[in-house]
Structure 1
Amino acid sequence: MDVINKKLWLILLFMIVSPTVFAQDIIWQEDFSTYPNGTTAGSDINLPAGNDWTIDQHGGGIFSVQGAEFQASGLSTEAVWTSEIIDISVSNYARLSIDANWIITAFFNNSDYIRMYYRLDGGPEELFFEQESGFFTVGGSATASRVLSGNSLQIVIRVSTDDFIYFDNVTLATVPVLYSRRNGPWNNGTVWSADDFSGEQDACSCTPTGSEVVVIGDGDQVVINTDATAAAVVIHNTGILRWTGNASLNIASGFVDIQSGGTISNNGNVANMRFNNPLSAHLHNSGSYTMTNLVLPTAGARLELTGNSAITVLNDIDFEQRNTVLVNNSAAGLTANRILFDNDNSTLINNGVISLNGNIEAGAGDDDNIITNTAGGTLTFSNISLNNANLTISNSGVINQTGNFINGSIDTGSRFNNLHGGVWNWSHTGGGHDTSVNAILNCSDGTNTFNYNGAGPQNIIPVNYSNLTVSGSDAKSAQTELDVNGDLYITGSSQLNPGANNIRLAGNWTNNSDNANPFNEGTGTVIFDGITDQTIATTGEESFGGLAIIKGGGRVLLSSDVRVAGTLTLNSGNIDVGGSNMIIAATGRISGGAVSSFIVVNNGHLTQSNIGSGGRTGPILFPVGVSSSSYTPLTFDNSTGVADNFSVTLCDKINSGGDCGTAGIAADAVGRMWFIEEETIGGSDATLTLQWSASDELPGFDRADVNLLHHDGSHWEVMYNGPSAGSGPYTATASGITSFSPFGVESAASAPLPVDLIYFKAELTGDQVNLSWSTALEINNDFFTIERTTDLKNFEVVATIQGMGNADVKNNYTATDFSPVEGTSYYILKQTDFDGTSRYFDLVGVNYNITDQQQKIALFPVPANGEYLNVRLTAFETGDLIQVEVYDLHGKTVHGQTAPPGAGTLQLVFQNKLSPGLYTLRVNSPHPVIESFTVK
């Protein structure tokens, strides 16, 4: 570039260099003045120290010496200029300086930059100057400068541009040093020596300027009571720099280094440290540092904080000029009152700990400032108050915000980003926030957490969340529907209060809050809509108003009991209860339920409440399966029975003992057992439908002739015999179910389970009674005897039928009573073995008068335990006292009791416990009613 163009440079940042008596020796220099245009490597022995440099360029464009400067223009990729490794051990401190300038045709595009680095003592590249796109419209210049201390240095310059960028005068020079030699004021010439700390050394009769490094140590205490300047400041062990008046210390071009045992103290005064370096400065504290204000007063300045001791700023960290950068790498943390953005386009990068007692603030119109809290950073502050300036906060670390988003101060051009890995803790509990935050708070980037941890009520900001945590104490209330794409946590002593709003959750639900009502479910619905497995984990039982499963993949896994007071909607995806229970409350119900969405119960239960007369009537679906690939629901109708709570679980096998802990049979049945339990035993009168698919059937199973079985604790009994219904899936239905335990389905023809009697029936046809029965298994069976009675005391033989001896297939038998007795007769089936032992089966009754019998009784629990029996009486409303008698198989009366007319339910308490066996109960009335029952 010619001299005229050089005069066009816009000098934006410069160093004030004061006259000094100290010489600054050149260690290394390159001014490109001796090279012809196009040179791409340098070695010039004519300069005092010699030099050596190379480039690395790939792609087109100019990257070479042009007109006694180094020029970069029209580059298609980044190009790199690198110096030799330079010995700087000859000086305690060296100043690296480089001139840069640029001419652009419009604006820097996104790929235009010049970045200057150094490698000290073989370490990594350290950035000390950067000029990027978008700041200038015509041209500009700057001098990058950094004071360094070490043994070796290498300089690296990286450039990318399609316009014109130049650099020149790459210089390393020694830096003069002033040492404290006694206690005294900064501006007293007798305090300083050019040699060492010793007070025996001659005073230099000078005071520090922006050209010298100041070193204080050897127990000396230097005080500042008026504004002062130095290139850099080093405080050695026992050295003290103390303010005795209100003043500023200007750091012109280097660094401040407080070594272990060193101290910088404001001493109760307004002490400002102003880093005037237009490019890059460094504050390192391993001792003690206390200032009133830390100021970046020069546009484009960059200050890095390091060290293992805390840096304390009593008032402000002040970004006074635009384009300034503060990088906190302090391991021990930075403490201040507030951060003030007092201009545009400045940046705070926090890689350590920053603790503010006050706010993050901006002046009116001070826009486009940035706070980046990195993955290793923790930033604590009170309020965000921006005077309607815009600010971008990007958090990948931890933010602790104790104050508010101040009302009326947040510009909608701001962006508050909780990024992947970030945790934003907000503990403010008083007053509403600026509603502009609803549009600018981004909590859905990657996996991050927003935590409402206030010690009091808080309103939840209506934005989409990745992970959402409510902690602290008191209620955290949703304002609109909550959409949580990750996990939701209710912890501490908090309560989540959605009100009437829904919650959409794609991750896990965890509730371990010790609040008395940690989830105040309200009238909304919690919707699980994730695409992978989701877990519900609580301390104790979790209660939902409404719960919906609308998943794109995976299951909802329970690790604790869940109760639904409203509607459980099963749309897509399964609930796997594990060892827990899914409970539908008395006010609840299930909507949906199909092969695409059901409840997996193999250890836990599905419980539905209040099923029966006076409660939920009609067919009630239990949409259950033993695994995610096997849907085997049951339908339960207890409309005429006493309302009760019923629980269902499943077993993936069926066996003779009716228990899931024993190996199952291998053929001729549906390979499932349905376990049904009622909370209060007795009073049920249910119709039960079991459903299965072809894949649930074991080999040899015949759907055309099935037995729906009930295991009574000792053997299977047939509740229904006949064909299955449906063409896939298939069902079997039985009615009159009054007791519960395992249920199953087998092929009737092969009857693989040890069922003795399938059924025994007595039917009046004209003037004769036809009797029929069927067996599934006979062992040593000699013959059957049918006996008849009218008074349950005296029995007579009606017929004797030869048995099959030993048989493991179904056998059908018939007999006829050609002379039935007028009125009501009862028939009982007796089976006798070859060795003379016999057993009786249930009584069945026939009314030969064909009189409508409106009076009915129901017995529960059955089988009975021999201690008591409940009798529900229907239509015994008139007449004398009701007489109830109980007989054993020999016709002996074992119990008698009376009840007044109109009694609903009568409890018989047996004075002597009944032995196991078959018994008959008779209610005497104009038309006696008789029912048999067993005692186990």
Structure 2
Amino acid sequence: MQSLLLLLLLAVTSVFYAQNGPAGVGNNSTNRFWQDATRINQNNNTLISSWNNNGGNSLNPSQSNSSYRPKLLTNNINSIYSSVSFDGTNDRLRIENTSDINSGSNIQRTFFIVFTTESNVSTRQIVYEEGGTIRGFNFYLLNEKLYCGAWNRNNDGVGAPWNFKSVNTPVLPNTTYVLSFIYKGNNSITGNIECYLNGDLFGTITGVGRIYNHNRGLMGCKEQDTHYENGTSSGTGHYFKGSISEFIHYNYPVNSAQRIIVNNYLAAKYNLTLAANDLFTQDIPSNGNYDHEVAGIGRISSSDLHNDAKGSGIVRVLNPTGLGNNEFLIWGHNNGEQQAINLTDVPSGVKARFDRVWRVSERNSTNTNSVNVGNIDMRWDLNGLGSITASDLRLLIDKNNNGNFIDDTPISGAVHLGGGIYEFTNIPGGLAGIQNEKRFTLGTINKDQTPLPIELVYFTAILNEKKTVNLEWQTASERNNDFFTVEKSIHGSYWDSITTVDGAGSSSCVRNYSTTDFNPHMGISYYRLKQTDFNGEFEYSSIRSVNLKLSDEEELKVYPNPTQEMITVNGSAEELSFIKLINVQGKDVGKTLNFEKTDESILFIDLSSLSNGVYFLKTRTKVSRIVKN
């Protein structure tokens, strides 16, 4: 009986404690920091006071001084993903004292950082650092190289001291990279730190022990002091001029299989080509751009593997029966709508399927051959999709790989595990099922048998002349409907609540509802309706969007003006399609200046090399007077 209870407990624990960290590696207990710029729900070019942590630690990197805050650049990488831009002057974000970063002593951890350089990679710039001259880690740019350093120079106890050591590798201007830093210290000071750039091992720091209590973590510069390849350095400075898109921290050294999986997730997301182990190839345009919420399982050896992954998406894969050495199965989706709205491309007997489709790469670790990891179990997190009957669900696999599901045989047998999780077990690999380059999605055979809690007639979002958004919806009937929540997003992926509106409980007559968003995002705002039952079950409507455009008067902004050095030009992509800077004699002086365009609507121009005086900035339809003093 005790054994049976233990097995049941393990099964329930497995349902609710999936590997939901980045790429399906880790969970809140091990993935302690996870900063993703795309999850910052702010307007483009706005200051960031706090960068929300999606990991297990409650701290957020933050900045209380508004003069030191970096800016959010939305949709500037791969057309949908965002970054946090540091100005190279005084921007920084702090991670205050925590045992995960600097308090106590640490012997193991892992960092992944996605960062983008700008035109200057020669002067010393701190991307991330923690500690001081006695103990710490740092990642910095200098002389067109990226350096990674580590040290604990004081005899603090077991595993110390060990002197500053660093490794470096070349970097280019205006380029996005992913850094992997895997710290494997020990008490005998014989540990090491592996450093990878875009998946390629560029250096191993040896003779590494423990790192003891030191100063807090910092993105974008050093505060007080640090240690470099040429000795100690005091004071605040060495500001980073570039951006960080994602910052990931684990409290243990990830194994090689996990490192490869996380790197493939980041490469797909940020449109990078890995120098080694670039296994997920479904992210390129010719394969359909399945760039999103990539996760995977894999194995290097019997002691170096990762065989259970979910990530931030709704698909979890586990229990592969034939996962061999140097084999990986990695999947991502096309960012289609996660609702059963496709009524045409469905096989016989299936009434509708998700518009969202997933595609897999099943390859060896060098990406030279396809492999077969055997049969797998697949779990779907269907929370938020209303009441579901498991027997209505069908797994659809594009077995002939022609891009359609209408000619495929649906797979039944889903079981509800509780908590909104539904599982298909023993899905075959190879030609009969999941295989390299194949697509899959989820369908239903009976939309009527799985009734929606409300019958929604329409949901609309309309921008009015006051630049607010009218949100209206109508129901034909309601069943146990407690309340509605109107949610808004700047990306269509991560959502904030605007307001809640009481439902009618149960009703068989037409009812109308409305509310107003008085603060829509500049540009596109996405809206959806969340309906919640009295029993806590909920579902979402289809997504609506509005586009708040700049008026003619607002179409171009140039600031600060007057200026001593840098100006920012903010306007529409069309207006900035032509730009020239001329002096009062009509000479084009912009040819010698650095024009830095972070996205289609923001341009930075460095005027520090120009003489003081009046200049004119000509764009497609406008001329702006600028004073340099």
Q: TM-score range by the shorter chain?
A: under 0.3
- Quick check: which has more Rg, 1 or 2? 1
Larger RCO: Structure 1 or Structure 2 (Cα < 8 Å, ≥ 6 residues apart)? 2
When normalised by structure 2's length, the TM-score is: 0.27
TM-score, normalised to structure 1's length? 0.19
